[in-house]
Chain A
Amino acid sequence: MPIEILMPALSPTMTEGNLAKWLKKEGDEVHSGDVLAEIETDKATMEFEAIDDGRLGRILVPEGAQGVKVNQPIAVLLGEGEDPSALEKGPAAPSKPATNAPPTDEASPTIAVGAASATQLPSARDRGGNGRIFASPLARRMAQQAGLDLGAITGSGPQGRIVKADIEAALSAMRGAPTVAPPRPAIAPQVSPAAPARSPALSKERVLALAGNPPYSERPLSAMRRVIARRVTESKQTIPHFYLTVDCEIDELLKFRAELNAKSEAYRISVNDFVIHATALALRQVPAANASWSDEAILLWDTVDIAVAVALEDGLITPIVKNADRKGLATIANETKDLAARARAGKLKLEEFQGGTFSISNLGMFGIRDFAAVINPPHGGILAVGAGEQRPIVKSGALAIATVMSCTLACDHRVVDGAVGAQFLAAFRKLVEDPLTMLL
């Protein structure tokens, strides 16, 4: 039986990598321990060794392929005595089921994985075909040198080709150049460098004409601003958003917070840190909400990594608290403080703001009662948190006063239906209103 060789996870956090080089050709003998290929991640290039003996029957992913997901079949190994005709039967089902398991929650209907990959986010990746990414030779090399994933970059060249300017913008944004802050708005965690508007050019002239030519001054478009513009537009145009709101009584939480903070100088837990932890725990309880839509399958994420929006001078960025369900409140508090500080200083590393499985945006400090946020592709949802304020409520038929915080969940309806969203929010609210249960 031919054995499928899958893209290995060379580190616990690796989700995808580049197949830099094949060291065996189709037809070559393979012995256990032989180096099959060089796999490149943004951290390092590593050798991938064969586990089994056999002959390399077919290479499924070509040399140079970028963005190969962990567990994606990359080759087929023929066993002893098997001949290439065994390959015609087609590859065996991938051994790790996680990426292909249907949603376990009954409330969500089976989502048809359509063959049509028609309306794509403008991308340099040829999704209809073999995953080719179009980039100029120079852009390719610059990305490789900097460890950037081309698959996550939108190109501004002809037909969405990634060109030097796109790589430069991504790099300068990451470095936090003085005029260009990191291009990671709360709405868009992918690496998306500055790209000029591709649909009908909204020139200054047009805008002035529409506005009736009043006096004005100009602020030039920073790379981050261009990226925010592009990402929120794409998100709103391609993701069917719907919104669910709950009001959470947080008096218990505030009391609990005060008690915890009084115990030590080593941390200072904010309301938002509670929100992050509660969100993560609620996602564990309703895993269907910790998922993303793809045209081939819904991807249910194994980890709960929360992207937290941080306001910057000229925009936003979303540093990620990884495994937010498994971290204590003090850890979360210290991490978010550190991430936010480094975000404002432009010193976040790529993996610290690229990715996440869910987002939170909190405008409570500005006195906002409630709001609806824009989903950061590819997340399935984003929780928008308002200010905790004293409000009149009804308890057992009588007027009372409580500190209430309104939270609005924006869901991607392709992957999170109303019932799932509601279940998540119910779980979230329960944890927030009874914070001791976060310890369970």
Chain B
Amino acid sequence: MAENTFDLIVMGGGPGGYVAAIRAAQLGMKTALVEREHLGGICLNWGCIPTKALLRSSEIHHLLHRLDDFGFSAKDISYDASKVVARSRAVAKQLSNGVAYLLRKNKVSVFDGHGRLAGKGRLAVATDGNPVAELGAEHIVLATGARARSLPGLEPDGERVWTYKEAMVPKAIPKSLLVVGSGAIGIEFASFYHDMGTEVTVVEVLDRVLPVEDEEISAFARKSFEKQGIKIHTAATVKALEQSGETVTARIEADGELAEATVERVILAVGIVGNVEDIGLENTGVVVDRTHVVVDEWLCTGEPGIYAIGDLVGPPWLAHKASHEGVICVERIAGVNDVHPLDVRNIPACTYCRPQVASVGLTEKAAREAGYDLKIGHFPFIGNGKAIALGEPEGMVKTVFDSKTGELLGAHMVGAEVTELIQGYTIAKTLETTETELIRTIFPHPTLSETMHEAVLDAYGRAIHF
């Protein structure tokens, strides 16, 4: 049927998929998008967005317990967990509706159902086994995202052993919690629940928390978390989880020693795996490497006419990375001039725990391993007027420069609002700044952003405020 033939079909409506679809439509392609559950994907519905809504609530709860610092007092501080959760669900719903509106506005045809490749240039959409539509297109972009990984012996049960999904809609805030995995997801939940009053323990198999961040940032964050009362065990593995009655007992092995932790709930945050199953990849040239689809720099798979983006193709598992891959993929298909592959060193990563963490580019270690001679700058939040005025003096900015060319190789931040600040460094890196331009940039006073300026100055031995 002519009405089911398109120039481009996107499979999956998350931040990778819907952005790709809108861009394709902007470029004049007749575009369709197939989504089996909810527009906006995990990010809008069960990831980035609702967690930020929850973390806003826990931030407020934290402030409510510091009222005296600011000259306030209050009695009977309480919260209604269901309302906290409901707010985050409402936010997710609002944004998901927003995506639906944007797709309509750009005249993208949306098909609800599960999409599967069905022959060259063909895609079948079905719901619960019932066919919904047969679509055809010269170009098909796979954007089916990813889901939580489970390890043997550590499977979620949806009741006491949670994945991110259950953790986002607790019926009640548990008194005690074990978080397995200290990546962004694990740490954000640890931070949220701690600030909501839960006793939190984090177990991490590697030797530090937030292992992809710069070592100094990991160390700073850990110290802060432990000062807050979060218990952290690194270089530790959870060997087994045993449920009895209302609690779960975890057997933890660290340094050859065994320990136990008995908690009300467990959150498993041990990584994610791409949704490569049941989308019709069999009998195509698409290459799957364990749990993700293999693509080249232009997001082409092994099958001509089939592309893949986002969490499906591997790390970093970030919504903005998926979105940019979607745009690059689609622009290349459309023959737009001047398209460049994604520069992974310019992708920022943000963790919205307390204190927040944000970074872009190479860690100090990675830069040294790459053979660079470095100039490193540090600046502590305690040296920043706004940080102190806000009552958020805990934080640090670290810059990593190539001492030969002055190229900004990496920037690493921990502290209040750094997730909003990091874009300054990513803009600078994209424009290929050297230290000179950053030093000459006028940052407004008084702002937290001045820490960014001072961290650059410090790399060149000329910090003023420390």
Tell me, yes or no, whether B371 is within 8 Å of chain A by CB: no
Interface contact A200-B434, CB-CB below 8 Å = no
Give the CA-CA distance A208 to B305 in the complex, in Å. Answer: 12
Whether the pair A141, B405 counts as a contact (CB closer than 8 A) is yes
In the bound complex, do residue A201 and residue B433 qualify as a contact, i.e. CB atoms below 8 Å apart? no
A residues 180-210 with Cβ under 8 Å of B? Answer: 196, 198-201, 203, 205, 208
Check B337–A163 contact: CB distance below 8 A: no
Interface size on B, residues (CB 8 A): 17
Distance, CA A139 to CA B437, complexed state (A): 13
Does the CB pair A200–B407 fall under 8 Å? no
Chain B residues near A196: list those with CB within 8 A. 340
Contact B432–A139 (Cβ < 8 Å): yes
A138 touches B404 (CB 8 A): no
Interface: A145 (CB within 8 A): yes
B332 touches A201 (CB 8 A): yes
Pick from A138, A198, A201: contact of B432, CB below 8 A.
A138
Residue of A138, A198, A201, A203 touching B405 (CB-CB under 8 A): A138
Task: Give chain A residues whose Cβ lies under 8 Å from the Cβ of B332.
Answer: 201, 203
The answer to whether B406 touches A158 (Cβ under 8 A) is no
Query: In this assembly, does A164 line the interface, its C-beta being within 8 Å of a C-beta of chain B?
Result: yes
Chain B residues lying within 8 Å of A139, measured Cβ to Cβ, are 432
Q: Which residue of B lies closest to A199 (CB)?
A: B337
Chain B's nearest CB lies how many Å from the CB of A219?
16
Report the bound CA distance from A145 to B338 in whole Å. Answer: 28
Asked if residues A164 and B337 are in contact (CB atoms below 8 Å), the reply is no
Q: Decide yes or no whether B2 CB sits under 8 A from chain A.
A: no
Q: Is the CB of A200 within 8 A of B432?
A: no
| Chain B window 307-345, contacts with chain A (Cβ cutoff 8 Å), 1 for yes, 0 for no | 000000000000000000000000010010111100000
Question: Which of A137, A158, A198, A201 is within 8 Å of B434, CB to CB?
Answer: A137
Please name all residues of chain B whose beta carbon is closer than 8 Å to the beta carbon of A208 when the two chains form the complex. 304
> Can you name the residue of chain A whose Cβ is closest to the Cβ of B436?
A137
Of the candidates B338, B339, B406, the one whose C-beta lies within 8 Å of that of A141 is: B406
Q: Which residues of A contact B370 (CB under 8 A)?
A: none
Bound complex: CA A208 to CA B431 (Å): 35
Q: Max chain A CB contacts within 10 Å: which of B405, B432, B434? A: B432
Chain B residues, Cβ within 8 Å of A142: 405
Contact B431 A136 (CB under 8 A): yes
Q: Which of B337, B340, B433 contacts A200 (CB 8 A)?
A: B337
Known: A138-B405, A145-B405, A205-B304. A163 touches B335 (CB 8 A): no
* Residues of chain A lying within 8 A (CB to CB) of residue B432: 136-139, 163-164
What 0/1 readout, one digit per residue, does chain B (81-105) give for beta carbons within 8 Å of chain A?
0000000000000000000000000
* The residue from A138, A158, A201, A203 contacting B407, defined by CB atoms under 8 A apart: A138
Question: How many Å lie between the Cα of A138 and that of B433 in the bound state?
Answer: 6
How near does chain B come to A300, taking the closest CB pair, in angstroms? Answer: 38
- Per-residue CB proximity of B413-441 to A under 8 Å, as 1/0? 00000000000000000011110110000
Q: Which residues of B contact A164 (CB under 8 A)?
A: 407, 432
Least CB distance from A54 to B in Å reads: 34
Per DSSP, chain A at the interface is helix
| Measured CA separation A258–B340 after assembly (Å) | 56
With both chains docked as a complex, state the minimum distance between the C-beta of A181 and any C-beta of chain B, in angstroms.
Answer: 23
B434 touches A138 (CB 8 A): yes
* A-chain residues with CB within 8 Å of residue B406 when the two chains form the complex: 138, 141
Distance in Å: Cβ of A331 to nearest Cβ of chain B = 39
Chain B residues closer than 8 Å to A201, beta-carbon distance: 332, 335, 337, 339
Q: Which of A107-165 contact B (CB under 8 A)?
A: 136-139, 141-142, 145, 158, 163-164
How far, in angstroms, from A198 to B336 measured CA to CA in the complex? 10
B436: chain A residues at CB < 8 Å are 137
Contact residues in B for A136 (Cβ distance below 8 Å): 431-433
A354 CB to nearest B CB, Å: 22
Residues of A within 8 A of B338 (CB): 158, 198
A137:B437 contact, CB within 8 angstroms? yes
List B contacts of A138 (CB < 8 A). Answer: 405-407, 432-434
Shortest B406–chain A CB gap in Å is 6
For window 76-135 of chain B, which residues contact chain A by CB distance below 8 Å? none
Q: Complex Cα distance A164/B420, Å? A: 27
Q: List CB contacts (< 8 Å) of B423-466 with chain A.
A: 431-434, 436-437
Q: Which residues of B contact A205 (CB under 8 A)?
A: 304
Q: Find the residue from A136, A138, A201 having the highest chain B CB count within 10 A.
A: A138
Provide the bound-state CA to CA distance between A163 and B434, in Å.
12
Q: Which residues of A contact B434 (CB under 8 A)?
A: 137-138, 141
In the complex, what distance in Å separates the CA atom of A325 from the CA atom of B432? 46
CB-nearest residue of chain A to B334: A201
CA distance A208 to B304 in the complex (A): 10
Closest approach, in angstroms, between the C-beta of B399 and any C-beta of chain A? 15
Q: What is the minimal beta-carbon distance from B364 to any residue of chain A, in angstroms?
A: 19
In the bound complex, CA of A436 to CA of B407 (Å): 59
Chain B 368-386 interface mask (CB, 8 Å, partner A; 1/0): 0000000000000000000
A139 CA / B335 CA spacing, docked (Å):
27
Residue on B nearest A201 in the bound complex, by CB: B335
Residues in B with CB closer than 8 Å to A141 are 405-406, 434
Q: Are A145 and B404 in contact (CB under 8 A)?
A: yes
Closest to B340 in A: A196
Closest Cβ of chain A to B138, distance in Å, is 10
- Contact, CB under 8 Å: B335 / A137: no
The closest CB in chain A to the CB of B341 belongs to: A196
Determine how close the nearest CB of chain B comes to the CB of A4; give it in whole angstroms.
33
Contacts of A137 in B (CB 8 A): 431-434, 436-437
Bound-complex Cα distance A141 to B434 (A): 8
* A199 neighbours in B (Cβ, 8 Å): 337
- A136 vs B332: C-alpha distance when bound (angstroms): 24
Closest to B139 in A: A205
Q: Which of B304, B405, B407 is the most central at the interface, judged by chain A CB atoms within 10 Å of its CB?
A: B405
Measured in the bound complex, the distance between the Cα atoms of B338 and A196 in whole Å is: 8
Q: Considering the chains assembled together, what is the distance between the CA atoms of A163 and B405 in angstroms?
A: 13
Would you call B335 and A200 a contact (CB within 8 A)?
yes
Distance in angstroms between the alpha carbons of A60 and B218 in the assembled complex: 54
Cβ of A200: which chain B residues have Cβ within 8 Å of it?
335, 337
- Docked pose: A198 CA to B433 CA in angstroms: 24
Which residues of chain A have C-beta atoms less than 8 A from B405's C-beta?
Answer: 138, 141-142, 145
Q: How far is the CB of A108 from chain B (nearest CB, A)?
A: 39
Q: How far is the CA of A163 from the CA of B332 in the complex (A)?
A: 21
Q: How long is the Cα–Cα vector from A145 to B404 in the complex, in angstroms? A: 9
A51 to B339, CA, bound (A): 52
Q: Which A289-324 residues sit within 8 Å CB-CB of chain B?
A: none
Question: In the complex, what distance in Å separates the CA atom of A163 from the CA atom of B407?
Answer: 12
- Which of A137, A164, A198, A205 has the most B CB atoms < 10 Å from its CB? A137
In chain A between 51 and 68, which residues have their CB closer than 8 angstroms to a CB of chain B? none
Residue of A nearest to B434 (CB): A137
- A203 proximity list for chain B (CB < 8 A): 332, 335
CB distance from A169 to the nearest CB of B (A): 14
User: Which chain A residues (77-121) contact chain B, with CB distance < 8 Å?
Assistant: none
Taking the closest CB of chain A, its distance from the CB of B361, in whole angstroms, is: 13
Q: How far is the CB of A226 from the nearest CB of chain B, in Å?
A: 14
Contacts of A145 in B (CB 8 A): 404-405
Bound-state CA distance A142–B434 (Å) is 10
**Assembled-state Cα–Cα distance A284/B370 (Å):** 53
Which residue of chain A is the closest to B404 with respect to CB atoms? A145
**How far does the Cβ of B459 sit from chain A's closest Cβ, in whole Å?**
15
In the complex, how many angstroms separate the beta carbon of B339 from the nearest chain A beta carbon?
Answer: 7
Shortest CB-to-CB span from B427 to chain A, Å, is 13
Q: Closest approach, in angstroms, between the C-beta of B251 and any C-beta of chain A?
A: 51
What separation, in Å, do the CA atoms of A142 and B433 have in the docked complex? 12
* Given contact pairs A138-B433, A141-B406, A198-B337, a sample of 15 additional A-B residue pairs in the complex whose CB atoms are under 8 Å apart: A136-B432, A138-B407, A138-B434, A141-B405, A145-B404, A145-B405, A158-B338, A163-B432, A200-B337, A201-B337, A201-B339, A203-B332, A203-B335, A205-B304, A208-B304
When A and B form their complex, which 9 residue pairs have the shortest distance between CB atoms, in order from nearest? A136-B432, A138-B432, A137-B434, A137-B437, A138-B407, A138-B434, A142-B405, A141-B434, A164-B432
8 interchain pairs, CB-CB under 8 A: A136-B432, A137-B436, A138-B407, A158-B338, A163-B432, A200-B335, A200-B337, A203-B335
